């Protein structure tokens, strides 16, 4: 029995490393590895034994329990969901939120080396950069090899490689999730690499790739990295002594990025104020959000049920004569709006509480990553359904494990 557990334990850890490495790549392989990792954890029978990480605080299980309770609400919504097929599809996709609860309670086996795991995540990100650039360059020169790409017309096609890359990268990996993986890679690099020369190579590579995708996430990433770099490279006494100046500098940088980025201007204050006035002249997301908010009384109390938001939106598009939107069956493109539509205001509040609990339940040595993980994910969910893709769910799972389960096996101190 011991030999069996030793073998399964090593396989479980190896699958975890492979999963981390594959996070920036297309999700098909990631899906199978992620499922195999969960299965191997249960086969290791960790849930039958006392946790090995006994020195971690019991508070670290609170976020897992909160997400588990939110998942339970999703399951119960099947009682009033009109389309049980859509409900079942959503439950299968969200199964990780329930399965990770026992992982959060019992922890992981003794083979887990979080320093090594962090480096694997960073290496996967670094390998992905030239891989995507090489592949997208090849496709740009030979678009006929991938016929389903939305290749621009001849004039736009010859306008430049950058436009082609930024417009078509999401066909291989949703760029919001991809940018998030890359940014978390940069954050983890700050934790596991103490050599500033190594960081001087790693950080620009990852940040330039994020800018290359030309997504709204690039704006959020720039704001986040400003905070991270100040936290990492400026002595603490300077940050404290000149705290007012640092706050003004960061605020000005964030305001400049948000104001100057052309894709951020599409979703400005004026557009948000008039988003319920549906029109093809408006930004796509504004029309989607406006359609969802036409009759909020339909779902505020108990929600429509898991998996029902897209069908509800499609009816709203049809009533507003947005035929293209109805044909495309656009989802909410906002995780909070989707949760409110499917679980009601109570489910949305529990979802938010689950996120906000993460930094408060993590020891000091892991709190920086936990805060950045929480803030970035919560910002990303404002413009996209991060859990509409399996890779987004696996990114959440990997982040939770780094921020919480590693509490007893933390990253080396930045000042060590």
- Mean pLDDT across the chain: 81
Give the per-residue pLDDT at 411: 37
Give the per-residue pLDDT at 268: 57
Give the per-residue pLDDT at 133: 95
Model confidence pLDDT, tens digit, residues 103-149: 888 888 888 888 888 899 999 999 999 999 999 999 888 878 887 77
Give the per-residue pLDDT at 413: 35
DSSP 340-358: HHHHHHHHHHHHHHHHHHH
Task: Write out residues in the chain with pLDDT < 50, as ranges.
Answer: 52-53, 154-155, 409-416
pTM (2 d.p.): 0.85
């Amino acid at each position: 029995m011991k030999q069996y557990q030793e073998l399964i334990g090593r396989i479980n850890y190896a699958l975890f490393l492979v999963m981390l490495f594959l996070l920036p790549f297309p999700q098909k392989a990631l899906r199978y590895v992620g499922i195999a990792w969960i299965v191997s954890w249960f086969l290791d029978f960790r849930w039958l034994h006392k946790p090995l990480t006994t020195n971690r605080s019991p508070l670290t299980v609170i976020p897992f329990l909160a997400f588990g309770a939110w998942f339970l609400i999703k399951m119960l919504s099947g009682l009033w969901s009109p389309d049980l097929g859509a409900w079942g599809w959503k439950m299968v996709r969200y199964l990780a939120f329930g399965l990770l609860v026992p992982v959060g309670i019992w922890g992981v086996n003794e083979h887990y080396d979080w320093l090594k795991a962090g480096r694997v995540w960073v290496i996967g990100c670094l390998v992905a950069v030239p891989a995507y650039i090489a592949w997208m360059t090849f496709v740009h020169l030979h678009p006929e090899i991938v016929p389903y790409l939305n290749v621009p017309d001849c004039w736009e096609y010859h306008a430049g490689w950058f436009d082609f890359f930024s417009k078509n990268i999401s066909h291989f990996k949703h760029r919001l999730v991809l940018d998030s993986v890359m940014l978390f890679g940069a954050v983890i690099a700050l934790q596991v690499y103490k050599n500033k020369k190594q960081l001087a190579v790693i950080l620009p590579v990852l940040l330039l790739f994020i800018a290359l995708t030309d997504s709204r996430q690039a704006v959020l990433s720039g704001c986040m990295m400003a905070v991270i770099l100040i936290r990492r490279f400026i002595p603490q006494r300077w940050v404290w002594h000149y705290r007012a100046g640092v706050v003004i500098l960061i605020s000005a940088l964030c305001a400049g990025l948000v104001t100057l980025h052309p894709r951020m201007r599409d979703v400005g204050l004026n557009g948000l104020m008039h988003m319920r006035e549906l029109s093809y002249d408006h930004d796509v997301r504004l029309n989607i959000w406006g359609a969802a908010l036409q009759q909020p009384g339909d779902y505020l109390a108990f929600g429509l049920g898991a998996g029902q938001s897209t069908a509800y939106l499609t009816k709203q598009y049809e009533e507003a004569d947005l035929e293209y939107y109805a044909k495309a069956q656009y989802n909410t493109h906002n995780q909070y709006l989707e949760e409110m539509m499917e679980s009601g205001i109570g489910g949305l509040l529990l979802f938010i509480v689950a996120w906000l609990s993460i930094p408060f339940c993590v020891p000091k040595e892991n709190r920086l990553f936990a805060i950045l993980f929480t803030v970035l994910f919560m910002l990303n969910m404002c413009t996209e359904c991060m859990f509409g893709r399996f890779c987004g769910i696996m990114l959440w799972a990997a982040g939770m494990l780094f921020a919480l389960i590693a509490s007893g096996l933390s990253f080396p101190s930045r000042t060590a």
